[in-house]
Structure 1
Amino acid sequence: MGRPGAEDALAGAALGWTPQSAPARPGPPTGSPRPAAGGGRHARRKTPESAAGSSSGRFLLRAAVVTAALTAVGAVLGLVRDQILARYFGAGAETDAFLVAWTVPEFASTLLIEDAMALILVPAFSRALARRPVSLFGDPVRALVRATLPRLVLAVAAVSALLVALAPLLVAALAPGLPDPRLAVDCTRLTATCVLSFALAGYCSAALRAHGSFLPPAAIYVAYNVGIIGTILVLREPFGVRAAAAGVAVGGVLMVLVQAPSLVRELRSRPVPKEEPKPVPAGDGRLLVLGMIAPVIVFALTRQSQILIERFLASPLPAGAISHLNYAQKVAQMPMILSLMLCTVSFPVVARALAAGDAEAARRRVERDLLLAAVVVLIGASTVVAAAPQMVELLFQRGAFDASDTAATAAVMRVYALGLLGQTMVGALVRCYFSAARPLWYPAAAMATGLLATGLAGAVCAALWGAVGIAGANALGITVTAVMLLLGAHRQSVPIDVRRLGEGLLRLTTAGAWATGAGWLCSVAIGPPVVAVAVAALVVVGVFLLFVACAAKAPEIPPLPRSACRRTPHARRRAASTAAEAPSVGGDVPLDRGQPR
């Protein structure tokens, strides 16, 4: 059976078309002549549904591109932030103390922005928006905000105050081997204030994404890193590394400010009913019951606990080990962050499809997103492994960050990159479990299993190989979790084809291995770091796509250039002048708008 083009799959998944809602008309048998252009009752007629599907697909593509672009800007600013830290504070005990305090914003961002908050609130707002046109009880969206936002603010404000008060105990638990815990305590008290601002930022992000507004949420890390960088440059002389901790607090406030005006406009977009609205029936409010949100929170906490294990295992190691792990992780995770942008944009689409009972549309959307995310992350991981020393030298080797720090960080970064595909699959697959109204405990159990593997392997490997062994344990644990989530996904609300997806991922991984070898040979043969990184990246991309498209004959890549060609002006004019149409070739995307091949 043939595969649909990328444009058809994107449009069909975005609109949630199914055989019941948009039956595919049978085409002529193989070898039969096509009707003449412009003639016959089989001539193509552009329906409103197909036009809407094309428009929706283009919107998702534009949203993904804008989100990826702003995320890339935020990631670059994050690298600039890390460069400033490395330049002024190096990779010694002072930076280690700050990075222990950095655990608080890392934990808070995962729990309150990236994972738990989004996985709970995006489906809730999506269902409220789906009920909005037919609601007889007032505006479900505003009712959801009234029911959730005040309680959230009170809860996270109390947690923030508790962290400030218990900072000494927290530092002692996170890193018992620090030589100067007082500095870490001061930094932790400053970073603890971000819990409230991150919660508000995550709430705004989830609500805006459900409304189809992706620009402000994508800009939050730009604002965040600008706040940290500016604060370090202004306050580093009198306060030292504490200025970086204060920058976390400033950046958190900026994250809220870049989103709040857009959310207020969205909430005011529907006129307030003249009469007093009746109470909204219990529906989304059930999401706030502990039994409903607990699986998501436990999953997010368990996932982020990998960093706690790393910091705990690295604290007895020689000074700088925590810093080497941190710098390596920040660079190595950039491909994963970019690869998940399409999943972030399409998450509300999947949630709405499931709210409408259209599991088939959600399946098509999720399967394509998983493969495209794997393509991006494997290309990035191959480049990282191939040119890690040159990347670290180019980014960090200046000031207090010397050649020995470069070598140690590059070794850790290469091992971290082995787990990037697992990190991406976990981030993408978990949406299959949490898109529906009833989150499940299986993802949390899978994450706990992976965390146990990380801890056991890390305890052994840290004694043998130091920070490199800790990075290897991280890669092992997250891969175990990814495999468990993949094997269990077909039983969930989005019944993906696990066998077909697994075969595609295996082909892509093989291509990544070949591309890594080719890129490494080029990076070794070229001297200047900037040239070596650029050439290695180009070679990796070329070899990867060539292997997948030609040698492995994987179906994940060919639809992409065909889709790009169909977007050119010449192709659009040709399509507009051709009224006849061949039958649809994609049985898994029953669209009434097939394209001639």
Structure 2
Amino acid sequence: MIYSVLVNKNLSPDQNASAGNVSLSSGVARFSAGTLISRILGLVREQVFAIFFGAGAYTDAFFAAFRIPNLLRDLFAEGVFSAAFIPTFSKEKSDKGIVQALQLANLAFNSLAVVTSVVSLMGVIFTPLIVWVMAPGFSETAGQTELTIIMARIMFPLLILVSLASVATGVLNTFGRFGVPALAPTAFNVSMILCGIFLRKFFDPPIISMALGVLLGGVGQLAFQVPALLRIGFKFKPELNFKDERIRKVFRLMVPASVGTAAIQINLFVATLLASLLPQGSLSYLNYGYRLMQLPLGLFAVGVASVSLPKLSMQFSSGDMVGLKEEYLSSLRFTLFLMIPAIFFILSAAYPIVGAIYQHGKFHFEDTTATVNVLRIYALGLFAFGTVRVTSQVFFAMHDTRSPTKVGILAVIVNIILNLILMRRFGFLGLAAATTISGIINMSALVHVLRIKLRGIRIVKLADFLMKTLSVNILLAGITLYVCNVMHLNSSTASGFTRGTMLLALLGGYIISYLGMCRLLKVDEIQTVLQVFRRRIK
């Protein structure tokens, strides 16, 4: 039912051919609808994880093991592949038509399958060495290193599956199909939930069931997008041609982006290494907080970025630089309009958020407090993380993957230095703070480089908008924090039911109040939101 709502089966390939005809608000609405469902299931997955496994040596081992294929996934799939593939695919579709573009997609699918299969095989072989380097502190706890190796090997093929899923996502996004790719991770989350609940009794230790859930979830994430791919005319053929100029161009564009991503992964690698040297549970607290921070980032910033890239690519290809600048500013404003209230709500309602989601079973109030502190630190950088996502798309649309790579490497170097400095005094909170500070530096430098490249962007036009939204959110956050204190939601005495019901009430009140006050202050973005809402009702 959900699938049919988000995919219009009556559209022909020609009718779906241009993502440029999809408005930013409409595209983001579709993307966010799918992502919201996926993220809700992601929260359920996190609850299952916290209830049955808590925070300790086993969970640290899982998160370290999961991070290994994830590091490589970011190099071959996700943002890196989209940055290289979508502009190339869009140009091919515009210049030579849909048939030739889909042929390129098939070649990309097969090429990526071969490359990632080889990398995965090598990864499985050298897993013990990788774990030994990545988490040396695990050797102090009996069996923790061995458990990490077992789970990493189970999850390594995920690299192949998500890389192929990224090809499907890139193709569908270019055709204006945003709902299906956004919904695809639901299969991943459902798999982990079911494995955690029903299969944990068959493994010793039980947490290995979650590693199996990751692998099966990757299969589901790819399979979920296949019907939509077939509907737009994609046909799989066992063709492989690394000499094809279009494929070579995609990989050429991927190289600098991969270098930048590799630098980021090195930072995560260092953070994991340092966290393994801290008391048990430190890596888990960082991961729990990071996952919650990713909810608004994935729901809003990634949605805007994913929808804007095809249109930005078309504007650059047609030489419409004025339109490109306006599209960027519009995307940036819309991102901040959604991200700023998320920041202030998290800061003021962190305890009921973490408590309602995680504080069950083996996850205790002490774990909640540690995760709350991590989450608040990460939340302070949400505006920067979101701005980087949207700003990077402009570079990618202009076939420039080098500039964001250079800036990203600089930010990573700063991050590693801050990790080493802040961890000594603040422990795992220092690692979270380093991520936030370096993210703000990354944003500032990237926007500066873009302004130079485009010979000026009227960022000052955001001043009035920012004053209005910040004023509204400071007021609402103060009220929210007051209610949390009065209702004792920030203490260990609050029950899970109380936290859950109050969280829903606070969130609903915050959203309604924010939209209402923005309408009174005549913030332009509110009209966009209301138009989408009315369209959905009709």
The TM-score bracket by the shorter chain reads: 0.7 to 0.9
From 158, 164, 179, the equivalent of 1:215 is: 179
Residues 460-499 of structure 1: pairs in structure 2 closer than 5 A: 460-492=421-453, 496-499=457-460
From 24, 29, 37, the equivalent of 1:73 is: 37
From 480, 488, 504, the equivalent of 1:534 is: 504
Provide TM-score, normalisation by structure 1. 0.77
Residue in 1 aligned with 2:366? 404
Name the % identity.
24
Q: 1:119 to 1:565 in 2, by over 3 A?
A: closer
Residue in 2 aligned with 1:199? 163
Residue in 1 aligned with 2:270? 309
From 329, 335, 340, the equivalent of 2:296 is: 335
Kept in 1: contact 2:195–2:209 (CA 8 A)? yes
Q: 1:423 to 1:561 in 2, by over 3 A?
A: closer
Task: Report the alpha carbon displacement of residue 348 of structure 1 after superposing the two structures with TM.
Answer: 0.9
Residue in 1 aligned with 2:484? 523
Q: 1:494 to 1:195 in 2, by over 3 A?
A: farther
Q: 1:535 to 1:177 in 2, by over 3 A?
A: same
Separation of aligned partners in 2, 1:243 and 1:561:
41
Deviation track 1:227-274 (CA, whole Å, cap 9, x = no partner) reads 2222222321121111111111111111111112322332359xx9xx
Kept in 1: contact 2:64–2:272 (CA 8 A)? yes
Separation of aligned partners in 1, 2:25 and 2:102:
29
Task: Report the alpha carbon displacement of residue 205 of structure 1 after superposing the two structures with TM.
Answer: 0.7
Residue in 2 aligned with 1:258? 224
Deviation track 1:359-379 (CA, whole Å, cap 9, x = no partner) reads 222222221111111111111
Task: Report the alpha carbon displacement of residue 486 of structure 1 after superposing the two structures with TM.
Answer: 1.1
Kept in 1: contact 2:54–2:361 (CA 8 A)? yes
Separation of aligned partners in 1, 2:423 and 2:358:
24
From 330, 341, 354, the equivalent of 2:316 is: 354
Residues 52-91 of structure 1: pairs in structure 2 closer than 5 A: 61-91=25-55
Task: Report the alpha carbon displacement of residue 492 of structure 1 after superposing the two structures with TM.
Answer: 3.3
Residue in 2 aligned with 1:160? 120
Mind listing any 5+ residue stretches in structure 2 that lack a counterpart?
1-15, 489-497
Residues 277-292 of structure 1: pairs in structure 2 closer than 5 A: 284-290=246-252, 292=253
Task: Report the alpha carbon displacement of residue 87 of structure 1 after superposing the two structures with TM.
Answer: 1.2
Separation of aligned partners in 1, 2:476 and 2:414:
29
Residues 17-416 of structure 1: pairs in structure 2 closer than 5 A: 61-133=25-97, 139-178=99-138, 179=141, 180-239=144-203, 240-268=206-234, 284-290=246-252, 292-340=253-301, 341-416=303-378
Aligned residues: 500
Kept in 2: contact 1:325–1:471 (CA 8 A)? yes
Kept in 1: contact 2:304–2:390 (CA 8 A)? no
Q: Could you say what secondary structure the match of 2:136 adopts?
A: coil
Q: Could you say what secondary structure the match of 1:131 adopts?
A: helix
Amino acid at match of 1:409: T
Q: 1:59 to 1:546 in 2, by over 3 A?
A: closer
Q: Does 1:424 align with 2:390?
A: no
Residue in 2 aligned with 1:10? none
Task: Report the alpha carbon displacement of residue 148 of structure 1 after superposing the two structures with TM.
Answer: 2.7
Separation of aligned partners in 2, 1:567 and 1:266:
25
Q: Could you say what secondary structure the match of 1:357 adopts?
A: coil
Separation of aligned partners in 2, 1:354 and 1:377:
27
Q: 1:336 to 1:158 in 2, by over 3 A?
A: same
Residues 542-561 of structure 1: pairs in structure 2 closer than 5 A: 544=514, 555-557=523-525, 559-560=527-528
Residue in 1 aligned with 2:4? none
Separation of aligned partners in 2, 1:230 and 1:319:
27
Q: 1:440 to 1:108 in 2, by over 3 A?
A: closer
Q: 1:566 to 1:545 in 2, by over 3 A?
A: closer
Q: 1:286 to 1:353 in 2, by over 3 A?
A: farther
Task: Report the alpha carbon displacement of residue 153 of structure 1 after superposing the two structures with TM.
Answer: 1.3
Separation of aligned partners in 2, 1:167 and 1:62:
44
Task: Report the alpha carbon displacement of residue 411 of structure 1 after superposing the two structures with TM.
Answer: 1.2
Kept in 2: contact 1:514–1:543 (CA 8 A)? no
Task: Report the alpha carbon displacement of residue 64 of structure 1 after superposing the two structures with TM.
Answer: 2.4
Kept in 2: contact 1:298–1:444 (CA 8 A)? yes
Separation of aligned partners in 2, 1:181 and 1:462:
23
Residue in 2 aligned with 1:27? none
Amino acid at match of 1:335: P
Greater CA drift, 505-514 or 187-196: 505-514
Deviation track 1:374-433 (CA, whole Å, cap 9, x = no partner) reads 111111121111111111111111111111111111111111111111111111110011
Kept in 2: contact 1:384–1:417 (CA 8 A)? yes
Separation of aligned partners in 2, 1:303 and 1:507:
34
Task: Report the alpha carbon displacement of residue 112 of structure 1 after superposing the two structures with TM.
Answer: 4.0
Separation of aligned partners in 2, 1:289 and 1:113:
12
Kept in 1: contact 2:81–2:254 (CA 8 A)? no
Q: 1:268 to 1:203 in 2, by over 3 A?
A: closer
Task: Report the alpha carbon displacement of residue 539 of structure 1 after superposing the two structures with TM.
Answer: 5.1
Kept in 1: contact 2:468–2:523 (CA 8 A)? no
Q: 1:228 to 1:524 in 2, by over 3 A?
A: same
Q: 1:432 to 1:127 in 2, by over 3 A?
A: same
Task: Report the alpha carbon displacement of residue 459 of structure 1 after superposing the two structures with TM.
Answer: 1.5
Task: Report the alpha carbon displacement of residue 556 of structure 1 after superposing the two structures with TM.
Answer: 4.4
Task: Report the alpha carbon displacement of residue 56 of structure 1 after superposing the two structures with TM.
Answer: 7.1
Separation of aligned partners in 2, 1:215 and 1:558:
22
Q: 1:314 to 1:509 in 2, by over 3 A?
A: farther
Deviation track 1:317-356 (CA, whole Å, cap 9, x = no partner) reads 1111111111111112211111121321232111112112
Q: Could you say what secondary structure the match of 1:464 adopts?
A: helix
Separation of aligned partners in 2, 1:58 and 1:433:
21
Provide TM-score, normalisation by structure 2. 0.85
Task: Report the alpha carbon displacement of residue 211 of structure 1 after superposing the two structures with TM.
Answer: 1.8
Separation of aligned partners in 1, 2:263 and 2:342:
26
Greater CA drift, 341-350 or 553-562: 553-562
Kept in 1: contact 2:76–2:258 (CA 8 A)? no
Kept in 1: contact 2:25–2:532 (CA 8 A)? no
Separation of aligned partners in 2, 1:429 and 1:370:
8
Kept in 1: contact 2:155–2:214 (CA 8 A)? yes
Greater CA drift, 560-569 or 477-486: 560-569
Greater CA drift, 462-471 or 320-329: 462-471
Kept in 2: contact 1:523–1:533 (CA 8 A)? no
Separation of aligned partners in 1, 2:409 and 2:423:
20
Q: Could you say what secondary structure the match of 2:137 adopts?
A: coil
Kept in 2: contact 1:228–1:248 (CA 8 A)? yes
Kept in 1: contact 2:158–2:215 (CA 8 A)? yes
Separation of aligned partners in 2, 1:118 and 1:522:
43
Task: Report the alpha carbon displacement of residue 533 of structure 1 after superposing the two structures with TM.
Answer: 2.1
Kept in 2: contact 1:113–1:205 (CA 8 A)? no
Mind listing any 5+ residue stretches in structure 1 that lack a counterpart?
1-51, 273-278, 573-597
